[in-house]
Amino acid sequence: MDPHLQRALTEIEAATHGLSGADWQRAPAGHWHCAQIVEHLGKAYGSTAYILDKCVADGAPKGRRPSWRQRLFATMVVNLGFLPSGVKAPAMTVPGGLSGDEALALARRTLQELDAAAVRCVDRFGAGVRVANHPILGGFTVGQWRRFHWVHTRHHMRQILQRRR
């Protein structure tokens, strides 16, 4: 597995290890609980895997050149590792109510799918091509997608660790 995606998986496993049924449901009022956070990540990995596989199947990358604003924010997130709080999740990544164990299984499965799709994409188009668009940050290369998902996972695992205290 790619090192960034492996780190994401390792962080999920560490942050969720030993969570009880009640722990999975713990959250401040108005915020996602732990199971919802992990489900959100699983859906995010899965949606990226889907679009990368679609690029390979269609024989063409779908990434556009980012605007200067998208490039600035992508640099903050992907290169500097800063993911601001309060950004609304894209609709396809909003959690639907899985249990903690179901969400964890989804995240593990879709992270593996993302890793495999990323390899297929690099094999088909090369590493330097913007293969798909992030809904907010614009076109990403496979390497940027991998790093983004690690940064995104790290952001949410910090939230889970806060809920465990």
Percent of the chain with pLDDT over 70: 100
Comparing CA positions, the residue from 6, 12, 26, 27 lying closest to residue 103 is 12
Q: Are 38 and 104 in contact (CB under 8 A)?
A: yes
CATH label of the domain that carries residue 93: 1.20.120.450
Please give the pLDDT value at position 86.
83
Q: Which residues contact 21 (CB under 8 A, 6 or more apart)?
A: 99, 100
For residue 159 the two structure tokens come to 């939230």
Q: What distance in Å separates the CA atoms of residue 104 and residue 45, rounded to the nearest whole number?
A: 12
Structural domains in the chain (count): 1
Task: Report, as an integer, the average pLDDT of 112-127.
Answer: 98
Strongest mean pLDDT among 26-35, 53-62, 156-165: 53-62
Confidence of residue 165 (pLDDT cuts 50, 70, 90): confident
Over residues 18-39, the mean pLDDT reads 94
Q: Alpha carbon of 140 to those of 13, 62, 78, 137, 152: distances in Å?
A: 26, 10, 10, 8, 15
Which pTM does this prediction carry? 0.95
**How far is it, in rounded angstroms, from Cα 76 to Cα 55?**
26
Q: Which residue bears the tokens 């879709």? A: 110
Residue 92 gets which letter from DSSP?
A: G
The two three-digit tokens of residue 94, written as one number: 């909003």
For residues 159 and 162, give the distance between their C-alpha atoms in angstroms, rounded to a whole number.
Answer: 5
CA 148 to the chain's CA centroid? 7
> Pseudo-torsion of CA 127, 2, 156, 96, nearest 10°?
90
pLDDT digits (tens, 9 = 90+) for 59-101: 999 999 999 999 999 999 999 999 988 889 999 999 999 999 9
**Tokens 């593990």, located at residue:** 108
132 forms beta bridges with 140
According to the model, what pLDDT value does residue 164 have?
Answer: 84
CB count within 10 Å of CB 45 equals 29
For residue 138, the enclosing domain spans 3-164
